[in-house]
Amino acid sequence: MKLTLRIAFLALLGFFCSMNTPAITINNYLDATGFPVLVPSPRNLKRTTMAFSLPIELSVAAPAELSDTAVFLLTKALDERFPGRRAYQGQNAQCVLELTEDGVPASEQGYSLTVKADGIRIRSRAPQGLFYGLQTLCNLIVKTQSNALPGCEIQDEPGLPWRGFHLDVSSMSNATVPDFCKIFDTLGSLKMNVVQLAFGTNLPLKDSPFTLQKDPLTQESIDLIKAAAARNFVTIIPQLQLLTHARWLTTHPEFYQKISNKKSYKRLWDSSICPYKPLAMELSKYTLAETIRIFQPKYLHICYDEFFLCHLAECDFCEGGHDPVELAKFARMFVDLTRSYGVEPIIYQDSMHPDRASNDSTWKPLLEAMPRDIALDFWDYDVVPRLDHYKYFQNHGFQNIYGVSFTSKLLNTRSLPLMIYDNGGKGIMLTYWGWVWSHFTKYASIDPDGAAGTTVTAEYGWNPDNRLPLTQLRWDPAFELHCRMGFGHPDRTDRRKYAEIAIQDLCNIQLGNDRNFPKLNAQVRDAMVAEAKLSAEKYNLSPVGKDGLAAVVLTGLEGKDGYSTDAVTIPVGTSAKGVSLLVMGGSPGNVTLFDYNHHYAKPLVCVMQVNYEDGLTIQEEIKYKVHFNEWNADSSAMLSRFVVRLPDAKNRQSSLMAYDWDNPHPEKAIKSLTLTPKGESTVAFALLAAVAVDPKDGYTPRTVEVPKKLFRAESLHTLENIYQESSSVLDLSQGMPQNCKVIFEGKMDGKPAYQVNPATKELEIQMPPVIEKRSRLCVDVTVPKGTPCETILVAFNNSLPEACKHSGLYRGTAGFKSFDVDYDFHGILDNEPGHILLSHSLGMKHDGEGTETNPAELSVLRFSLWFENKEPLTVKICDIRVNAKCHSYSEPTSFWQ
């Protein structure tokens, strides 16, 4: 459940793949037919020709329990799209919300919506369904291109009954509660209906013994939260970590002596209570009862995850640790105690599954102790979730199963809801684990993947009929959340006027052959140019040479990466409501600095100074992951949006995104924009085009040309250079080396085999089809003890990339008594043959599992792949190299051209 394994080092790998994904212009307002983009998309939508002309004042009739809500939401939508318009309760209503059982979906969350020339009608069998139909109507209004609301007939209901997310709010204060409550309005607008909140000890507990807790939430704050959830039909599920992950108990002054099992953890998060310590059980039961008193919930999450991580087999109080059977007894005790209050408990599944737990003696008693009608949260963060794990619990009688996804694995937020839906699951829950800070109260606290994951979960949880891969969505998931929360720029559409700001003569780089940016050929370059012109802004990219693009590329690294550090001034010469810059970011030189919990996670890259004609100047800082993201990121940045997505010449997904700047002085003429590199960021910033938004009438941009000679960039930090600077630890020139061992695991239809091909000097490994579950290939290489290996490079090829479901790269001591591990350094995108996603790995030294690693004792490297192949495949390894420096690189390549 938690991010328990941090990345230890970088895996650099190589292989070529093929795909034919078309270029896609991204538009969050209109689809390819000109109809408003609705998120989540309706299950059944039929367009008609009978448009409804929105009046200045829209009369509304609704059931009493929804009348105020309907007027409020419709007025908000109307005023956002057509300032000054409003809705009101009136006779002969033009918009009618009706409760009925005739001609509506069977689900109480379902609705029908019709827009005709004579009015709008929303019908459902329950208020919640009317509410969701109302949200669709508001979405339709906000995104329509004129006051003639397009005619349509919608029959809609959710694929999964539960759709929500989990947040740790144990540090939330009363001051932030009003802002936090706004998230429920966002949840409602996305038709999400569950939120799981981990409060811990900051609740208004009666006679609280947690004396170290400062500024606990008041009952007034709790009432605000409950009211905000209720008006958006959101169910609150409190969460309380019992037995494992007992960090919330640290606010008691005697935690370390009388509550926790001190031998069970190195990190405080991995702490567990000793159930035989009286104070531990007393406080757990007390807090459970108080949480139920405060919320009166229908469900309460009591967790039970990662028993194996919290090492309950060890204890500073109980000799011999905690017997698994006794542990199961205590786990069942809390289940029964929760039910005694009339509340249904929810637990995680991972400690009950042999593939998740560390030993068989733990999971079996826990599995046997749990009632089969209990709600089970099935968390699986793999890009391709483990169906056999899910079926395992179904086959053991568990039916109330909910999927738990993780927003840092953005592809998982699509694949898991679909798997849950296809196999009769009840819902989906999104977790963030560090990708959201401050509880959604400000944009700077949300990681782009956190924003994108929220709307992706809403989309595929509501409409699992949508089977499009993420890279083929024609709307930007992160930008959609920004607009819903007021963080984005909700009016970059065909309704606006745009005029090019010419930058061609300022370009200093010919992109196309630079390893920090997409690889271009003539076909890819021309597709980028064409798609950019199809956007509402009509961005004008500048082709140069046979296959290049002209760009302004800046860096703050004092020229160490080969880019210019000079400031660039762009003449503008008009008043405008804003400026939109079409940009992309280079691949980070060292993503270690940008880990989610690091204070450099969103570094300053450059400063944009706006120079007005009257002498006024203002400055805007441009930061990585706030105003732009790297070119092959899964999500746009927090204050930017995807414009074009397409595969580059090496078939890696690439994106152009827009950073929209709103002018606080639209009446003033802008003389110029000056971009000045700042900071020491290892991310380069590339500007490819610019437009003025709603410029002064008659504005004509200057006519300029691309310089005849542009620097054709080749980054100094190329993979080849890193490769050449590294030392090989796998010598295949004389056949199979003694320091290499190939290991096979799993049932296969045939005998696996391997050999060194003397002609190519490659280790060729043949994997037969799998019979059940997964097979695993491990290649272990022993190295001299203490070999420096901060970066590990594996040059390999896989003949069936779509069959690879999981990857791992380890460095450890003899017998792997301790080791660091990097999981999922490559994954399969949407399970399409030959379509491979290479994620950015972190060059980060961090303990993984086992005991603390001692660099002086490191002596073995392991490269592993898990397969679910239905036909034979071949893996070829030509080299494994190590480097004493910490490098980061994202580009796949091949070392055996």
Please state the three-class secondary structure of 516-545 as a single string. CCCCCCHHHHHHHHHHHHHCCCCCCCCEEC
Q: Which residues contact 383 (CB under 8 A, 6 or more apart)?
A: 409, 411, 412, 415, 805, 824, 827, 828, 829, 837
- The torsion defined by the Cα of 668, 674, 680 and 684, in degrees rounded to 10, comes to 110
Beta bridge partners of 609: 619, 674
More confident residue, 14 or 603: 603
Residue 403 CA to residue 416 CA, distance in Å, equals 7
Q: What is the CA radius of gyration of the chain?
A: 29
Q: Which two tokens stand for residue 649?
A: 């010449």
Q: Which two tokens stand for residue 760?
A: 């190519």
Q: Which residues contact 278 (CB under 8 A, 6 or more apart)?
A: 258
pLDDT confidence band for 18 (50 / 70 / 90): very low
More confident residue, 153 or 796: 153
Residue 869 CA to residue 770 CA, distance in Å, equals 6
- pLDDT of 242 over the 50 cut: yes
- pLDDT of 17 over the 80 cut: no
- pLDDT of 530 over the 90 cut: yes
Over residues 571-588, mean pLDDT: 94
Residue 779 CA to residue 808 CA, distance in Å, equals 11
φ/ψ of residue 106, rounded to 5: -70, -30
pLDDT of residue 360: 67
Write down the mean pLDDT value for the chain.
87
pLDDT of residue 671: 97
Range in 145-154, 235-244, 261-270, 857-866 the model is least confident about: 261-270
Q: Which residues contact 658 (CB under 8 A, 6 or more apart)?
A: 492, 537, 539, 580, 581, 582, 583, 640, 641, 643
348 near 379, Cβ under 8 Å?
A: yes
pLDDT of residue 850: 40
- pLDDT of 705 over the 50 cut: yes
pLDDT of residue 22: 75
pTM, 2 dp: 0.84
- φ/ψ region of 345 (left if φ > 0, alpha if ψ in -120 to 50, else beta) reads beta
Q: What is the pLDDT of residues 512-521, one digit of tens each?
A: 988 788 889 9
- pLDDT of 594 over the 60 cut: yes
More confident residue, 697 or 818: 697
542 near 507, Cβ under 8 Å?
A: yes
Over residues 547-566, mean pLDDT: 84
DSSP state of 94: S
Going by C-alpha positions, the residue among 595, 5, 4 that lies closest to residue 270 is 4
- pLDDT of 848 over the 70 cut: no
Over residues 578-586, mean pLDDT: 95
Q: What is the pLDDT of residues 354-398, one digit of tens each?
A: 766 656 677 788 899 999 999 999 999 887 788 888 999 999 999
- Which 3 state secondary structure label does DSSP give 794? strand
- Which 3 state secondary structure label does DSSP give 402? strand
Range in 128-132, 218-222, 581-585, 767-771 the model is least confident about: 767-771
Residue 225 CA to residue 442 CA, distance in Å, equals 17
Over residues 253-279, mean pLDDT: 90
pLDDT of residue 12: 36
Residue 109 CA to residue 74 CA, distance in Å, equals 19
- pLDDT of 884 over the 50 cut: yes
Q: Which residues contact 64 (CB under 8 A, 6 or more apart)?
A: none
Over residues 683-687, mean pLDDT: 93
- pLDDT of 47 over the 60 cut: yes
Going by C-alpha positions, the residue among 222, 221, 203, 223 that lies closest to residue 213 is 203
What percent of the chain shows pLDDT beyond 70?
A: 89
Residue 155 CA to residue 580 CA, distance in Å, equals 38
pLDDT of residue 457: 98
- pLDDT of 192 over the 70 cut: yes
532 near 489, Cβ under 8 Å?
A: no
pLDDT of residue 646: 92
Residue 390 CA to residue 414 CA, distance in Å, equals 16
pLDDT confidence band for 70 (50 / 70 / 90): very high
- pLDDT of 82 over the 50 cut: yes
Q: What is the pLDDT of residues 749-787, one digit of tens each?
A: 999 999 999 999 999 999 999 987 789 999 999 999 988
Within a 10 A sphere around the Cβ of 735, how many other Cβ atoms? Answer: 12
Over residues 194-210, mean pLDDT: 93
The size of the chain, in residues, is 897
875 near 777, Cβ under 8 Å?
A: yes
Residue 311 CA to residue 332 CA, distance in Å, equals 19
- pLDDT of 798 over the 90 cut: no
Q: Which two tokens stand for residue 363?
A: 């999971």
pLDDT of residue 21: 59
User: Across the beta sheet with 617-623, what order do the strands follow?
Assistant: 568-575, 669-677, 604-612, 617-623
pLDDT of residue 515: 73
For the four alpha carbons of 402, 406, 410 and 411, in that order, the dihedral sign comes to negative
Over residues 32-44, mean pLDDT: 95
404 near 379, Cβ under 8 Å?
A: yes
Residue 777 CA to residue 766 CA, distance in Å, equals 10
Degrees (nearest 5) of the Cα angle 653, 775, 805?
Answer: 20
Over residues 468-489, mean pLDDT: 90
pLDDT of residue 893: 35
